[in-house]
Amino acid sequence: MTQYVLRRLALGLVLVWVVATLVFLFVHILPGDPAQIILGGSETRQPTAEEVESVRVRLGLNDPLPIQYVDFIRSTVQGDLGNSFSNNRPVFDDLALRMGRTLQLILPSVVLSALIGIVLGVVAAIHRGSFLDTSISAIGIFGNSLPSFVTGTVLVLLFAIHLNLLPSSGYIEFSKDPRRFLLYLTLPIITLTLGGLGPVMRMTRMTMVEQAGGDYVRTARAKGLTERVIIYRHILRNALVPVVTVIGLQLGSRFAGTVLVETIFNWPGVSSYLITGVTNRDYPVIQGSMIVIATIFVVINLMTDLMYAVVDPRIRHV
């Protein structure tokens, strides 16, 4: 078992390193000069070639690529993700800040879609084949089909513009004004939850239906256990494993996948940090964000695999 874990860990590290290298290459191939952007594209005044050069030197952009690469890897390993070109602040600090804000969106919505999804999935499975089942499945598919920006924009139209109940976008720290914070949080969370419901619900229903046909269920029934006990204590418990996997995957992919929601609702999270970084050719921001995101994936993937390995000994030898 430990061998398996170590092997996966090593693989994970390699992957993060690969991502870091690819991103490094990527940003340097991107057209567009960060120095130009820093000096500003003021309409009436363009920076001179000398000014641009001096900024490039200051940022270390004129050093030969291999040297820049080595510096980059070395400082990253030490935990230093560099300073943003735009505002000179440590990328690590800003990322932590932004990460917190993205988590404020992801965690509640994942939990909500998990809870609601499981409940709906169980209900659908129990009443399999009935109208209830079909309608719940319909909701699930519907949620899956609507792109988040469609859901989000329609919600804004309904609640912010027509009914004027909620603000259409924005952010404020919880510590500054808890009430307004919650108001700002509502629509994005609803959007994300609706989008995440579908897969959880369908997976729950599917695995429960699968499990219900299993031998041990027949045995349990033969033993005379009540239907209720069978469902909740046996079937659901077994069915939950893949469901939890789905939830875990959602958590992972959500980190940068909240791009659309953060855009529509102006939520200053990791996605907008990354996009602004790309727009501004802010190399440290792009590299730092990608490395952190990749690491999160690797960790979540690892944990998911571990869980599988715990459950199914066969996999450990793959």
Partner 1 sequence: MFRSGFDRLKTYFRDYRLLGSGLVVAIVILVSVLAPLITSSDPNALNAQHRLEGPSTDFLLGTDSFGRDLFSRLVYGARLSLTVSLGSVIIGCLIGTTIGLVSGYSGGMTSLLLMRVVDLLLAFPTILSALFIIAFVGTSVTTLIITIGILFIPEFARIVHSSVLAVRELDYVSASRTIGNSNFRIAVRTILPNILAPIAVQFSMALGGAMILESSLSFLGLGPPPPASSWGRMISDASAFLRVSAFGLIWPAIAISLSVLAFNILGDAIRDRLDPRLRQ
Partner 2 sequence: MTRQHSINEATQKMIDRRTAMKIGAGSTLAASGFLTSQGKTSVVRAQEPAAGGTLRYGAVRDMSVFDPHASGGISNSWVIGNIYDKLVTFDEVGGFVGELAASFEQKDDLTYHFELRDGVTFHNGEPFTAADVVATINRIQDPATQAVNLDTASNIAEVDVVDDLTFNIVLKELDLAFLFTLASDTFYIISEANADATYETPDNYNGTGPFTLESWEPQRAFNLVKHSGYWKPNQPYLDRVEIMPIIDDGARVDGLLSGELDLIEYVPWQSFEIVEAAGAQLFPSNGLQSYLRLNPHEEPLINKPLRQAISYIINRSDVNEIAFGGKGIPMTGSLQPQDSQFYVAEFDGRYEQNLERAAELIKEAGYDSPADVPVIDFQVSTSALSQQPAQVIQQQLQEFGLQLNFRTIEVATLLENRANGTYTLHMDGGGMSWPDPDYLRSYFHTTDGTSYAIGVKYSNPDLDQLLEEGMDTTDVEERKAIYRDAEEIILDDCPMIFILWRAQAEAAASNLRGYYALPNGLETYRVDHFEELWFEG
Which of 1, 77, 161, 182 binds partner 1 (CB under 8 A)? It is 161
Determine which residue in the list 91, 256, 285, 309 makes contact with partner 1, applying CB under 8 A: 256
User: What does 58 interact with, of partner 2, partner 1, none (CB < 5 to 8 A by kind)?
Assistant: none
96, two tokens: 């932590």
Q: Is 253 in the site for partner 1 (CB under 8 A)?
A: yes
By CB under 8 A, tell whether 154 contacts partner 1.
yes
The CA distance from 165 to 184, in Å, is: 11
Q: Which two three-digit tokens encode residue 221?
A: 């029934």
Q: How many residues bind partner 2 (CB under 8 A)?
A: 37
Secondary structure of 37-105 in HEC code, one letter for each residue: HHHCCCCCCCCCHHHHHHHHHHCCCCCCHHHHHHHHHHHHHCCCCCECCCCCCEHHHHHHHHHHHHHHH
Binding of partner 1 by 263 (CB under 8 A): yes
Q: Residue 266 and residue 182: Cα distance in Å, rounded?
A: 15
- Residues 274-293, one symbol each (x = binds partner 1 by CB under 8 A, - = not), give xx--x--------------x
- Contact between 186 and partner 1 by CB under 8 A: the answer reads no
Q: Rule CB under 8 A: choose which of 268, 300, 306, 308 binds partner 2.
A: 268
Among 9, 96, 115, 141, binds partner 1 (CB under 8 A): 141
Q: Where are the beta strands (DSSP E) in 209-257?
A: none
Told to check if 54 binds partner 2 by CB under 8 A, we report: yes
Give just the sign of the alpha carbon dihedral 300, 303, 309, 311. negative
> Binding to partner 2 by residue 313, rule CB under 8 A?
no
CA distance 182 to 158: 18
Of 35 and 156, CB closest to partner 1: 156
- Segment 288 to 307, residues that bind partner 2, using CB under 8 A: none
Binding segment toward partner 1, per CB under 8 A, in 26-34, 80-88, 95-103, 106-114: 26-34
How many Cβ atoms sit within 10 Å of the Cβ of residue 66?
Answer: 8
Can residue 42 be called a binding residue for partner 2 (CB under 8 A)?
A: yes
Residue from 4, 5, 17, 26 touching partner 1 (CB under 8 A): that is: 26
Q: Which is nearer to partner 2, 120 or 166 (CB)?
A: 166
Say whether residue 280 binds partner 2 (CB under 8 A): yes
- Closest to partner 1 by CB, 67 vs 141, is 141
Torsion on CA atoms 24, 27, 30, 35, rounded to nearest 10: -130
Distance CA 20, CA 69 (A): 10
Q: How far is CA 253 from CA 258, 259, 277, in A?
A: 9, 11, 20
> What's 177's DSSP letter?
-
Compute the Cα dihedral for 218, 220, 224, 229 and give only its sign. Answer: negative
Applying CB under 8 A, which residues contact partner 1?
Answer: 11, 15, 26, 29-30, 141-142, 144-150, 153-154, 156-157, 161, 249, 252-257, 259-260, 263-264, 271, 274-275, 278, 293, 297, 300-301, 318
Applying CB under 8 A, which residues contact partner 2?
Answer: 30-34, 36-47, 51-52, 54, 86-89, 94, 167-170, 172-173, 180, 266, 268, 279-281
